[in-house]
Amino acid sequence: MSNQVDSFLYPNIPYRSDHFSPENLVFNNNLQEFTQKVSFICSLETAGKLTPEESYKQIKSLWKELKRSKKELGIGQQPFLGDSGAGE
């Protein structure tokens, strides 16, 4: 039953993209983890288990981690254009 609970709490949606790269795959995983944690934090705050201030701090920290991940993986950066001459 533990596997069913884990699958429910931590769903893993398959990655689909026209622009596959290992970096995009890792970032997609980080993004899914971010959304799951934010959802948990929101639920805890709604239930009165966390204050709005603590919820904000935790989400802000998660956001900084996601931004750092994006930067380290080079997501959204323009690759070199190569020898096509398009950049000259």
Confidence at 66, pLDDT banded by 50, 70, 90: very high
Residue 10: closest CA among 30, 42, 33, 27:
33
Position 7 confidence tier, pLDDT thresholds 50, 70, 90: low
Residue 16 lies in a domain: no
84, part of any domain: no
Domain that holds residue 30: 21-71
Tell me, yes or no, whether 50 lies in a domain: yes
| 4 occurs within a structural domain | no
- Count of the separate structural domains present in the chain: 1
* Beta-carbon-side half-sphere exposure of residue 56 (alpha carbons within 13 Å): 3
Q: Is residue 39 part of a domain?
A: yes
With bands split at pLDDT 50, 70 and 90, how would you rate the model's confidence at 75? very high
Q: What is the pLDDT of residues 26-37, one digit of tens each?
A: 999 999 999 999
Tokens encoding 66: 């996601």
The pLDDT of residue 1 is above 90: no
On whether residue 78 sits in a domain, the answer given is: no
